[in-house]
């Protein structure tokens, strides 16, 4: 029986769902894979619960009643004292603070799985140094959910590149929230503000929807893919079209923005009406490898095109390569939601586990 110990950082929507999925499947993995998956530590930003035998279904209650204030050294010490094997630090936060501790975790014997995009979008210097630490200490880092939630985008691009295939362009709808917003807006008579509110109610947007409308999330995903293709790029080099009008930018509070979102209606209704017949609005990311350009922007696409036909909160990625020519490899599917993201993290944990020797 191979034992894997998960140290989980983050108990928001993704972390919470991830715990449920791990606990639901642990008996099946024992029987069918000979794999024992335990979660000896669950930590939020301030407090953690520790149990060397692994937490169980009552973890929420224990986080309330028997958790303790911690720092990273406490977790590292606990892992050593309890001789935990095959430790995987799973980052289900959006925090930069925990990312800056990745090198220390690697040096302390931890593998990494991250839904958090920050590590792959900080400076090229940090990105390179982290990979050197992983190589020196023979540790693994999986982050499939950084791009496309549960879709196999990162591993596909990695596989093509490592096999010597020349990827020339990657284009698509990279944001589940913006996909839902423009799919719904293009196919209904609803005001843009109504669609935006609905996206928030469904949990597709951040509490401050300007995080989505800024286009920065799409920009980060472009940067991650560019770096997978060994392009040395920084986030500031990504050309990003923000969809937030100047009068509603970050100088206004979230509350004020929510009260004034009707001011967006005229802007997007005008863009919708000024399209060619049978065209729809889509917010896309585009990476051109030859020129090294990375751009996130709102476009008008033919309704019958691959981009125009997506529905709901789907993502779509068109990967153009030398061998595929004008016919790209297309990957499409759910691009938002805690369930698919958590499932992608579970998949990363299982793939990493298969690479471990004991």
Instruction: Check residue 107 and give its pLDDT.
Output: 98
In whole angstroms, how far apart are CA 74 and each of 43, 149, 229? 11, 31, 37
| Dihedral sign (CA 213, 295, 318, 229) | negative
Instruction: Check residue 337 and give its pLDDT.
Output: 80
Instruction: Check residue 207 and give its pLDDT.
Output: 86
Q: Indicate where the chain has its CATH 3.30.360.10 domain(s).
A: 153-335
What angle in degrees, to the nearest 10, is found between the helix axes of 216-228 and 153-162?
30
Please tell me the pTM assigned to this model.
0.94
Q: pLDDT for 55-64, tens place per residue?
A: 999 999 999 9
Task: Inform me whether the pLDDT recorded for 293 exceeds 80.
Answer: yes
Instruction: Check residue 178 and give its pLDDT.
Output: 97
Which pair of structure tokens corresponds to residue 39? 């979660």
Q: Indicate where the chain has its CATH 3.40.50.720 domain(s).
A: 2-149+339-354
Instruction: Check residue 265 and give its pLDDT.
Output: 97
Stretch 202-221: mean pLDDT:
93
Query: In the chain, what percentage of residues exceed pLDDT 90?
Result: 94
- Is residue 314 within 8 A of residue 258, CB to CB? The reply is no
37, with CB counted inside 10 A (0-12, 13-18, 19+), is: buried
Q: Indicate the pLDDT class of residue 326, thresholds 50, 70 and 90.
A: confident
d(CA 106, CA 133): 7
Q: Dmax over Cα atoms in the chain, in whole Å?
A: 67
Beta strand 314-321 with 329-334: parallel, antiparallel or unpaired? Answer: antiparallel
Q: Indicate the pLDDT class of residue 338, thresholds 50, 70 and 90.
A: confident
Mean pLDDT of the chain: 95
Residue 221 bears catalytic tag: yes
- 312: which DSSP letter? T
Q: pLDDT for 228-284, tens place per residue?
A: 999 999 999 999 999 999 999 878 999 999 999 999 999 999 999 999 999 999 999
Instruction: Considering the candidates 117, 139, 221, 233, report the single residue annotated as catalytic.
Output: 221
Strand intervals (E) in 178-265 = 239-240
Q: Which residue is associated with the tokens 């196999």? A: 152
Q: Indicate the pLDDT class of residue 203, thresholds 50, 70 and 90.
A: confident
Instruction: Check residue 242 and give its pLDDT.
Output: 97
Q: Indicate the pLDDT class of residue 150, thresholds 50, 70 and 90.
A: confident
d(CA 98, CA 9): 8
d(CA 176, CA 335): 5
Q: pLDDT for 28-56, tens place per residue?
A: 999 999 999 999 999 999 999 999 999 99
Q: What are the backbone dihedrals phi and psi of residue 25, each rounded to the nearest 5 degrees, phi first?
A: -105, -5
In whole angstroms, how far apart are CA 83 and each of 109, 181, 282, 308? 11, 48, 51, 53
Which pair of structure tokens corresponds to residue 128? 């390179």
Provide the CATH number for the domain formed by 153-335 in this structure. Answer: 3.30.360.10
Instruction: Check residue 185 and give its pLDDT.
Output: 97
Which option is the CATH number for 2-149+339-354: 1.10.10.10, 3.30.1520.10, 3.40.50.300, 3.40.50.720? Answer: 3.40.50.720
Beta strand 293-302 with 68-69: parallel, antiparallel or unpaired? Answer: unpaired
d(CA 4, CA 87): 6
Q: Would you mind telling me the total number of residues written for the chain in this entry?
A: 358
């Amino acid at each position: 029986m191979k034992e894997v110990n998960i140290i989980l950082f983050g108990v928001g929507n993704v972390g919470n769902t991830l715990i449920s999925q791990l606990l639901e499947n642990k008996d099946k993995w024992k029987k069918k894979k000979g794999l024992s998956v335990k979660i000896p530590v669950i930590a939020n930003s301030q407090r953690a619960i520790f149990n060397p035998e692994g937490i169980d279904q009552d973890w929420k209650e224990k986080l309330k009643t028997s958790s303790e204030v911690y720092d990273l050294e406490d977790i590292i010490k606990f892992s050593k004292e309890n001789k935990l094997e095959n430790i995987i630090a799973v980052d289900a936060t959006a925090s930069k603070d925990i990312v800056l501790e990745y090198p220390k975790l690697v040096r302390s014997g931890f593998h990494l799985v991250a839904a958090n995009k920050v590590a792959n979008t900080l400076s090229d210097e940090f990105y390179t140094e982290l990979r050197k630490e992983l190589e020196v200490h023979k540790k693994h880092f999986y982050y499939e959910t950084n791009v496309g939630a549960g879709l196999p985008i990162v591993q596909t691009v990695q596989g093509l590149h490592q096999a010597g295939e020349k990827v020339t362009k990657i284009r698509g709808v990279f944001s589940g929230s913006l996909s839902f917003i423009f799919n719904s807006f293009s196919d209904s008579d609803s005001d843009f503000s109504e669609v935006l509110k609905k996206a928030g109610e469904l949990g597709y947007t951040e509490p401050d929807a300007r995080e989505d409308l800024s286009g920065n999330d799409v920009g980060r995903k472009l940067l991650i893919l560019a770096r997978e293709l060994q392009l040395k790029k920084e986030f500031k080099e990504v050309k990003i079209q923000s969809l937030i009008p100047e009068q509603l930018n970050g100088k206004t509070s979230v509350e004020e923005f929510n009260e004034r979102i009707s001011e967006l209606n005229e802007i997007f209704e005008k863009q919708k009406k000024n399209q060619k017949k049978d065209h729809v609005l889509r917010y896309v990311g585009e990476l051109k490898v030859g020129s090294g350009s990375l751009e996130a922007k709102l476009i008008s696409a033919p309704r019958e095109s691959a981009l125009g036909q997506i529905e709901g909160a789907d993502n779509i990625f068109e990967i153009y390569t030398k061998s595929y020519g004008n016919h790209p490899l297309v990957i499409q599917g759910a691009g938002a939601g805690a369930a698919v993201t958590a499932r992608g993290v579970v998949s990363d944990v299982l793939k990493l586990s298969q690479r471990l020797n004991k």
